């Protein structure tokens, strides 16, 4: 028996020769990045909820920021090698967070509230770009067969990091203020380079090449063009729109409920600060609960479900969870019901749907992995967020909360589940076609010439 075969880790993960350290670095980096994000995410929620029931405005601002940043991101991906672009993005995030920490401490009154809203928009935008860049690196560096074996393990690493960040916020809630968590998050993003740089050296090298380049604007909009030309990518975009529909409607309802339970307007400053701290702790505990569920599912269920039921079933799991959750809320809403539903929704999203959706990109070309994927994960994601937020305002006033769930959300979740099953079939066809795009995608990441000018 070989040393590789006898290694204890192979009892849990199918690792081929040469994959071990890359897997360790990938999972550790994802853990570190999500840990940094979950240090600041409860503060984002606490700052954002002080706006009251106007999330459609905050999300419109987030969508606008994302749409502005998307072509800049696409241009930078096409212009710079990934060993410069990826560290630059995470280091830039750290510097921006440190600037928010300083500005929020120096401001007072309404100026501090405005900075809090800007922080909400920035963190919401950063979350999408930081995550899509990480998974683009993973999709580019793994063949479809390796992705099926390893992406679940990498996701477990991210869940452990999210658990650690959430637990740290909860543990330090009586020691540090929500603003102090921003500085911890800045340190997290900056120190991620300790893991990112050796990982980039292990993944296939990027060659910038000396050939002719397309104009910068064309490079920036390449993701949108690739998305519009591919029915497969359009299907992924519709699936993502279903995800944001369910998440947006639940998010706004639950935050409005908590806004009225713990007000921060028209109360004494000491009460407002105490309520902000209480909200931060509440969101940290929500994060802790759903990440704990996600960890158990990832460790003991996701691999078995993928083998037994296939990718389509994993994609359909989140729509079915939302279908049942909205049906229960229609029967009797409460803060406990909202909290439990959010834990189940987000837990299934990260444990089952996220790895499954990332596998969909292992059977597309390298350009689609970076450019079209970032367009989906940024512009499509945030624009549908804003669209559903405004639609929520209109439908809630036109139908009322009960009819909104039973007439709109439950049927929409059923259609969303059917789309997930269809995408699973499309993935199988691409993965099994020897001369298809999936074949090209599988070999492109191993050919240095095919990697010219990417990140």
CA angle (355 as vertex; 159, 306 as ends), nearest 5: 115
Q: What are the angstrom distances between the C-alpha of 48 and each of 58, 123, 124, 196, 342?
A: 8, 11, 11, 31, 17
Q: Which of 328, 416, 350, 391 is nearest to 34 (CA)?
A: 350
User: Which CATH code is given to the segment(s) 18-205+216-437?
Assistant: 1.20.1250.20
Integer Cα distance of 347 and 340 in angstroms: 10
Going by the DSSP 8-state scheme, the letter that residue 449 receives in this structure is G
In sequence order, the 6+-apart residues with CB closer than 8 A to the CB of 73 are 129, 374, 378
Residue 128 in contact with residue 267, Cβ under 8 Å? Answer: no
Q: Give the global pTM.
A: 0.68
The C-alpha atoms of residue 290 and residue 362 are separated, in whole angstroms, by 27
Q: In sequence order, which residues have a C-beta less than 8 Å from that of residue 234 and are 6 or more positions away?
A: 227, 228
Tell me if 30 sits within 8 A of 155, measured CB to CB: yes
Q: Encode pLDDT of 53-108 as tens digits.
A: 567 788 788 888 888 887 788 788 778 887 888 899 999 999 999 999 999 888 87
What would the mean pLDDT of 190-214 be, rounded to a whole number?
69
**CB neighbours of residue 418 within 10 Å:** 12
| Pick from 113-122, 181-190, 444-453: least confident | 444-453
| CB-CB neighbours of 241 under 10 Å | 20
Residue spans of the domains in the chain: they are: 18-205+216-437
Residue 280 pLDDT > 50:
yes
Q: What was the pLDDT predicted at 267?
A: 42
Averaged over 116-135, what is the pLDDT? Answer: 89
DSSP-derived 3-state class of residue 174: coil
Confidence of residue 8 (pLDDT cuts 50, 70, 90): low
Q: How confident is the model at residue 232 (pLDDT cuts 50, 70, 90)?
A: very high
Euclidean distance between CA atoms 274 and 244, whole angstroms = 31
Residue 207 pLDDT > 50: no
* CA separation, residue 77 to residues 81, 220, 278, 385, 450 (Å): 7, 9, 40, 24, 14
Asked whether 48 and 105 are in contact (CB, 8 A), the reply is no
- Burial class, 400, CB count within 10 angstroms (exposed 0-12 / middle 13-18 / buried 19+): exposed
Query: Would you state the pLDDT for residue 225?
Result: 85
Burial group, residue 115, by CB count within 10 angstroms (0-12, 13-18, 19+) = middle
Residue 146 to residue 333: CA distance in whole angstroms: 43
Most confident of the ranges 13-17, 127-131, 194-198, 312-316: 194-198
| pLDDT: which is higher, 414 or 6 | 414
Question: Which of these ranges, 118-127, 189-198, 254-263, 281-290, has the smallest mean pLDDT?
Answer: 254-263
pLDDT at position 191: 96
**What band does 286 get if pLDDT is binned at 50, 70 and 90?**
confident
Predicted confidence (pLDDT) per residue in 388-436, tens digit: 888 888 888 888 877 888 888 889 999 999 999 999 889 888 888 764 4
Q: How many CA atoms lie within 13 A of 454 on its CB side?
A: 26
Lowest mean pLDDT among 242-251, 278-287, 418-427: 278-287
Mean pLDDT over the full length of the chain: 77
* Dist. CA 228–CA 234, nearest whole Å: 7
Of 98, 52, 49, give the one whose Cα is nearest residue 276.
49
What's the DSSP call for residue 205?
A: P
In angstroms, how far is CA 425 from the centroid of its own chain?
24
Q: How confident is the model at residue 451 (pLDDT cuts 50, 70, 90)?
A: very low
CB 27 within 8 A of CB 154: yes
Q: Report which of 224, 425, 207, 243 is spatially closest to residue 320, judged by C-alpha positions.
A: 243
Q: How confident is the model at residue 236 (pLDDT cuts 50, 70, 90)?
A: very high
């Amino acid at each position: 028996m070989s040393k590789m075969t006898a290694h204890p880790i192979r009892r849990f993960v199918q690792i081929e020769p040469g994959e071990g350290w890359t897997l360790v670095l990938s999972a550790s980096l994802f853990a570190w990045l999500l840990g940094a994000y979950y240090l600041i995410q409860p503060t984002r929620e606490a700052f954002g909820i002080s706006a009251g029931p106007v999330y459609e405005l905050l999300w419109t601002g987030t969508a606008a920021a994302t749409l502005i940043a998307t072509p800049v991101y696409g241009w930078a991906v096409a212009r710079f090698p990934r060993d410069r672009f990826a560290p630059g993005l995470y280091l830039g995030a750290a510097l921006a967070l440190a600037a928010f920490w300083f500005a929020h401490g120096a401001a007072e009154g309404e100026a501090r509230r405005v900075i809090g809203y800007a922080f909400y928009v920035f963190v919401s935008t950063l979350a999408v770009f930081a995550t899509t860049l990480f998974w683009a690196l993973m999709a580019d560096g793994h063949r479809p067969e390796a992705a099926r074996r390893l992406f679940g393990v990498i996701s477990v690493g991210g869940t452990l990091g999210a658990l650690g960040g959430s637990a740290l916020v909860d543990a330090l809630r009586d020691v540090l203020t929500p603003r102090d968590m921003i500085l911890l998050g800045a340190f997290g993003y900056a120190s991620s380079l300790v893991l990112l740089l050796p990982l980039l050296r292990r993944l296939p090298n990027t060659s910038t090449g000396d050939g002719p380049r397309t104009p910068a604007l064309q490079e920036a909009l390449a993701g949108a063009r690739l998305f519009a030309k591919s029915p497969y990518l359009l299907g992924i975009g519709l699936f993502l729109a279903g995800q944001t529909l369910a998440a947006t409607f639940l998010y706004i309802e639950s935050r409005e409920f908590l806004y009225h339970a713990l007000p921060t307007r028209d109360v004494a400053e000491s009460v407002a600060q105490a309520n902000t701290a209480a909200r931060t702790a509440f969101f940290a505990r929500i994060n802790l609960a759903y990440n704990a569920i996600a960890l158990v599912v990832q460790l003991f269920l996701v691999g078995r479900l993928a083998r037994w039921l296939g990718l389509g079933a994993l994609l359909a799991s989140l729509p079915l969870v939302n279908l049942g959750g909205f049906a229960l809320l229609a029967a009797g809403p409460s803060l406990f019901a909202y909290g439990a539903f959010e834990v189940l929704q987000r837990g299934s999203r990260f444990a089952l749907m996220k790895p499954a959706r990332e596998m969909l990109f292992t059977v597309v070309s390298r350009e689609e992995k970076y450019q079209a994927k970032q367009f989906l994960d940024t512009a499509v994601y945030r624009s549908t967020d804003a669209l559903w937020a405004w639609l929520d305002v209109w439908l809630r006033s036109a139908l009322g909360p009960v009819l909104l769930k039973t007439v709109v959300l439950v049927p929409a979740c059923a259609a969303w589940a059917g789309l997930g099953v269809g995408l699973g079939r499309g993935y199988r066809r691409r993965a099994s076609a020897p001369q298809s795009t999936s074949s090209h995608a599988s070999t492109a990441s191993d050919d240095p010439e095919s990697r010219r000018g990417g990140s």
